[in-house]
Amino acid sequence: MAFNIYDFTTLTHSIHVGLAESFSPVVATTIEWVIVGVSYLLFVALFGLFLVYAERKVCAAFQQRLGPMRVGPWGLLQTIADFIKLLMKELIMPRKADWFLYNLAPFIVIIASFMAIAILPFAPGLQSFDFDIGIFYLTAVSSVGVIGILIAGWSSNNKYSLIGAMRSGAQILSYELSVSLSLLTMVIFAGSMQFSTIVEGQRDAWFIFSGHIPAMIAFIIFLIAGTAETNRGPFDLAEAESELVAGFHTEYSGVKFAMFFLAEYINLFIISAVAATVFLGGWMPLHFGNLESFNHVMDFIPPVVWFFGKVLFVIFVIMWFKWTFPRLRVDQILTLEWKYLLPINLVNILLMALVVLTKFHF
Amino acid sequence: MKSFIEYIASILKGLWTLLVGMKVTAKYFFTPWNHVTQQYPENRDSLVMFERFRGEVIMPHTENNEHLCTGCGICEINCPNGSIEIISKSILTPEGKKKRIIDQHIYHLGMCTLCNLCVKACPTGAIVMGQKFEHAVWDRALLTKVLNQPGSKIAEGVKE
């Protein structure tokens, strides 16, 4: 089995050939589906646990604390212990909750996250499907999650849950616009919605550098709107602890709560991964015009490391936002979106179109 | 036009204030040696509580087993929850005068809220707040303490 850390196409191809030789096409395809599904599940579970740990450590460092230190060295096993605790907890349902919707909601939220994660290119060959309306698909499925949140708030039969869900709905519907428009800016620049083409287009320079001013404005807008879309601080109105207990998942416990919790961190990963892919070059190494030796050194670092390095950088910035800024009020959130981000975004798209038309880019 | 300039200026100013806030937290993040968390049981040997920490009421004694308490009972009166009991006794001074001195300064740590009022009220500064904080015991009776050591006497020259 050929394994190459720089290009996974040989590995996936050899697996495919091996399976096709020993099984009928239908069985081989099914086995491939299962393999892909299990690897995504494993990745999401492990990365989610890591993100929870990272969040607690980063938050602690921003507040001059140490964070979890007791379970395992430097508290590394803390989230695993927490997860086991969550799995063993009793599932409590409010007496007058809507049984069907109450149990359905966590799955909608987490399925929406899984659908969005499927399109991301991790490295050459490490992308489960790649089609020509990738970004369009991503914006479409990432807004499905809000339905799950609304259902969760409605079916819990709890006023805090309902208020949290409604706030979340208003917020995500508004910021969806900014996320899509800032991605659209980059689509204009890249000339494609397909993720592989977008990444390939950044071989010489990442879009945030080659697109200069409009790309940077789009990046900032994407970071702000993306933070809001994941319901994270300073836009965590939907689960404002001091006002709404825990927002839409107040009435959930045990595994169902864990699903909401995990989905929140997967969404954080997705937003960061999209920012890294569209603006920071995805798995492409850092290349500068004609510095041959520098580019060559950068090529030695595997694409997976580049991708996760960029993703972790964006995640760190978003965590930095969360632990620095105070929470916005509902009216402030809507003002920020409709009076600031949206007009700037529209002007920025025009600017980007001008840049592309006049070829005033690198 | 003026309002447009104000709009742009408000955006830039807003971004600037956000960056100022991020600079502050970044300073915290990148100076981990300034973190305030104490790894308590591990650093027990080197842990020094800060001066203003109130762990318990103590009565300092000199090396000659002398304290400053006159037994006046002001601390007992000032204590909001009756944690202090003063038991005094009368003695005859060498000049043949009757004098009241402290017999037992009883302090109930289990009831004390460490409000510091007794220390503030003490006219001679006989009692102070100590920094010890590991007070767990197996028997509640052990929390009742006699602050003046057995055989101690009041230091010379303390004004009554």
- The dihedral built from the CA positions of residue B37, B41, B47 and B49, taken in this order, carries a sign that is positive
pLDDT at A249: 80
Tokens describing residue A261: 């919790």
| Shortest distance, CA A310 to any CA of chain B (angstroms) | 19
Section A66-86 average pLDDT: 86
pLDDT at B153: 80
| Shortest distance, CA B84 to any CA of chain A (angstroms) | 38
- The closest of B120, B22, B138, B9 to B74, measured between CA atoms, is B120
Same domain, A60 and A167: no
Angle at A352 between CA A351 and CA A353, to 5 degrees: 90
Same domain, A224 and A351: yes
Same domain, A117 and A229: yes
Of the residues B18, B19, B20, B29, the best mutation for testing chain A's interface (the one with the most A CB atoms within 10 Å of its CB) is B29
Q: Is there a contact between A340 and B11 if contact means CB atoms under 8 Å apart?
A: yes
- The closest of A312, A298, A287, A294 to A203, measured between CA atoms, is A287
Cα–Cα distance between A336 and A344 in angstroms, integer? 11
How do residues A257-284 score in pLDDT, each as one tens digit?
Answer: 888 888 888 888 998 988 888 888 878 7
* Three-state DSSP state, B49: coil
Cα–Cα distance between A161 and B71 in angstroms, integer? 61
Name the domain count of chain A.
Answer: 2
Same domain, B145 and B73: yes
Judged on CB neighbours under 10 Å (0-12, 13-18, 19+), A70 is exposed
pLDDT at B36: 84
Nearest C-alpha in B relative to A221: B15
| Shortest distance, CA A342 to any CA of chain B (angstroms) | 13
Cα–Cα distance between A82 and A75 in angstroms, integer? 11
pLDDT at B160: 63
A296 within a domain of the structure (yes/no): yes
Same domain, A80 and A112: no
| Shortest distance, CA A51 to any CA of chain B (angstroms) | 17
Same domain, B65 and B30: no
Tokens describing residue A291: 């510095």
Pairwise pLDDT comparison (A219 vs A243), residue with the higher score: A219
Section A290-298 average pLDDT: 75
Q: Is there a contact between A64 and B28 if contact means CB atoms under 8 Å apart?
A: yes
Give the residue from A56, A88, A120 where a domain finishes.
A88
Type of residue at A295: N
Cα–Cα distance between A344 and A218 in angstroms, integer? 9
Containing structural domain, residue B26: 2-34
Q: Is there a contact between A64 and B24 if contact means CB atoms under 8 Å apart?
A: no
A230 within a domain of the structure (yes/no): yes
Cα–Cα distance between B109 and B54 in angstroms, integer? 12
Same domain, A78 and A105: no
CATH of the domain at B92: 3.30.70.3270
pLDDT classification of A240: cutoffs 50, 70, 90: low
B96 within a domain of the structure (yes/no): yes
Nearest C-alpha in B relative to A63: B28
pLDDT at A3: 64
A93 within a domain of the structure (yes/no): no
- CB distance A304 to A199 below 8 Å: no
Give the residue from A88, A108, A141 where a domain finishes.
A88
| Percentage of chain A lying above the pLDDT 90 cut | 2
What residues of chain B lie within 8 A of the CB of A321, using their CB?
22
Tokens 């001059």 belong to residue: A64
Cα–Cα distance between A295 and A301 in angstroms, integer? 11
How do residues A29-48 score in pLDDT, each as one tens digit?
Answer: 888 888 888 988 898 888 88
Tokens 């996320």 belong to residue: A179
Note every long-range contact of A76-81, with CB atoms under 8 Å and residues 24 or more positions apart, other chains counting: A78/A53, A79/A49, A79/A50, A79/A52, A79/A53, A80/A49
Tokens describing residue A110: 């987490």
Q: Is there a contact between B25 and A69 if contact means CB atoms under 8 Å apart?
A: no
B interface with A, Cβ–Cβ < 8 A, is 11, 18, 21-22, 24-26, 28-29, 32, 34-37, 39
Cα–Cα distance between A5 and A21 in angstroms, integer? 25
Same domain, B27 and B104: no
Section A99-123 average pLDDT: 86
pLDDT at A296: 76
Same domain, B63 and B133: yes
- The closest of A175, A136, A167 to A149, measured between CA atoms, is A167
Tokens describing residue B49: 């509580």
Same domain, A45 and A186: no
What residues of chain A lie within 8 A of the CB of B16, using their CB?
none
Same domain, A205 and A224: yes
pLDDT at A299: 75
Q: Is there a contact between A324 and B22 if contact means CB atoms under 8 Å apart?
A: yes
Q: Is there a contact between B34 and A64 if contact means CB atoms under 8 Å apart?
A: yes
B112 within a domain of the structure (yes/no): yes
A–B: how many Cβ contacts below 8 A? 37
Out of A69, A323, A344, name the one closest to residue B25 (CB): A323
Same domain, B64 and B134: yes
Containing structural domain, residue A149: 98-358
Q: What is the pLDDT along chain B (160 residues), one digit of tens a residue?
A: 888 898 889 888 988 998 998 898 888 888 888 888 888 888 888 888 888 889 889 898 888 888 888 888 898 899 999 899 998 888 887 777 888 888 888 999 989 999 999 999 988 888 999 888 888 899 988 989 888 888 888 877 776 6
Cα–Cα distance between A206 and A203 in angstroms, integer? 7
Q: Is there a contact between B24 and A324 if contact means CB atoms under 8 Å apart?
A: yes
What ipTM describes this predicted complex? 0.72
Give the residue from A88, A116, A137 where a domain finishes.
A88
Helix or strand run (H / E) with residue B153: strand B153-154
Out of A61, A66, A344, name the one closest to residue B28 (CB): A61
In the 8-state DSSP scheme, what is residue A280?
A: S
pLDDT at A327: 84
Q: What is the CA radius of gyration of chain A?
A: 21
